[in-house]
Homo-oligomer: A and B are copies of this chain.
Amino acid sequence: MRGAVLYAPGDVRVEDRPDPVIVEPTDAIIRLTATCICGSDLWPYRGVDAAEGPAPLGHEYVGVVEEVGGEVTTIRPGQFVVGSFWASDNTCEICRSGYQCACVRRVLMGTIGTQAQLARVPLADGTLVATPGMPEADLVPSLLAASDVLGTGWFAAAAAQAGPGRTVAVVGDGAVGLCGVLAARQLGAERIIAMSRHAPRQELARRFGATDIVTERGDDGVAVIREMTGGLGAHSVLEAVGTQESMLQAIRATRPGGHVGFVGVAHDVALPGDLLFDSVVHLHGGPAPVRQYLPELIDLIWSRTIDPGKVFDLALPLDEAAEGYRAMDERRAIKVLLQP
């Protein structure tokens, strides 16, 4: 099969790799209908995260089940499935509490690599959710978004307790931040402030439900949010970047007793204890338990209630993955879909 591999920072190649096979009896093999490049893939691509190349790339996926192991009971060949970037058994105590991202048996799909024609999915019964049938082509990008960016934005909005009567601010205008806007809207937030200085992203934010756009950042951004909220700060702030600046911006823009939901993968972040103490905010986040939300998200997509696939503004054949990485790295594209 063809699959994308990172050889060194900036060096993405698509090459022939061995077809995956069933390793554990709980595995499934899927043929990918679509896959994509994540903002978090840019960390190793840029050399910020150390990468021991050659390493397989990608952790987002939708596709059709080809084969299942002997202990797989609910997932069947021929089903169209969506899964999270964490494989999880969905039965352990942590999974049952809604934190499948911390399943005691979890496997990170990024170590397997889904920017490929085929992928092995561990713990198939727990990890994969089948759609009601084969999706029409226009639904595929949205189902693919559910695999990570939509689920992650949803978790950010839920962790920030976005809901009726609440003013929500979103720090980060990448695909996750934009999906956070969409999630906040679905969860009933009254006012949704997207923080973005890029016209196409502002436009998508508005389409997804943002009521206001703020272009200022850092302390200036915080000052504007406070001004818009009677000096108090937003009830809910979603953080979808992962830097020290974005975390501080999120915490400072939140009112006392308010909630910060952070999902940007943390890089060189050290939160001052006195800020956390004095701010009296709630802080919750981390790798999203996407699996928790998949059934609901698939329903919303299947019924065409939401259209998160709009985050893909560039689609390329898998063999052109390197160009996809360049486009995202240079912010020419919000999110790149790859067609295997």
Contact = CB atoms under 8 A, between A and B. Distances in A.
Nearest to A285: B277
Interface in A274-302: 274, 276-287, 289
A271 interface: yes
A273 interface: yes
B277 A287 contact: yes
Contacts of A244: 273
Contact of A283 (B101, B232, B272, B283): B283
B94 A257 contact: yes
A110 interface: no
Interface string A221-243: 00000000011100000000010
Contacts of A276: 262, 266, 269, 271, 283, 285-286
A121 B230 CA distance: 27
A185 interface: no
A104 B276 CA distance: 18
Nearest to A256: B102
A199 interface: no
A247 B273 contact: yes
A222 to B, nearest CB: 16
B283 A284 contact: yes
A334 to B, nearest CB: 23
A332 interface: no
A219 interface: no
Pick the most buried of A230, A266, A287, A289: most chain B CB atoms within 10 A of its CB: A266
Contacts of A281: 284
A94 B226 CA distance: 14
A215 interface: no
Nearest to A99: B257
Contacts of A72: none
Given A99-B256, A102-B280, A257-B97, A270 B268 contact: no
A98 interface: yes
Contact of A270 (B270, B277, B282, B286): B270
A16 interface: no
From A257, A266, A269, A270, name the one whose CB has the most chain B CB atoms within 10 angstroms: A257
Contacts of A279: 286
A20 to B, nearest CB: 27
A230 B277 contact: no
Nearest to A92: B232
Contact of A268 (B99, B273, B282, B286): B273
Nearest to A272: B270
Contacts of A270: 270-273
A99 B281 CA distance: 10
A284 B274 CA distance: 13
A266 B257 contact: no
Given A94-B255, A278-B286, 12 more contacts: A98-B257, A99-B257, A102-B257, A102-B280, A104-B231, A266-B272, A266-B274, A269-B276, A277-B285, A277-B287, A279-B286, A282-B284
10 contacts: A99-B256, A99-B257, A101-B256, A102-B257, A256-B286, A269-B272, A271-B273, A277-B285, A282-B283, A283-B284
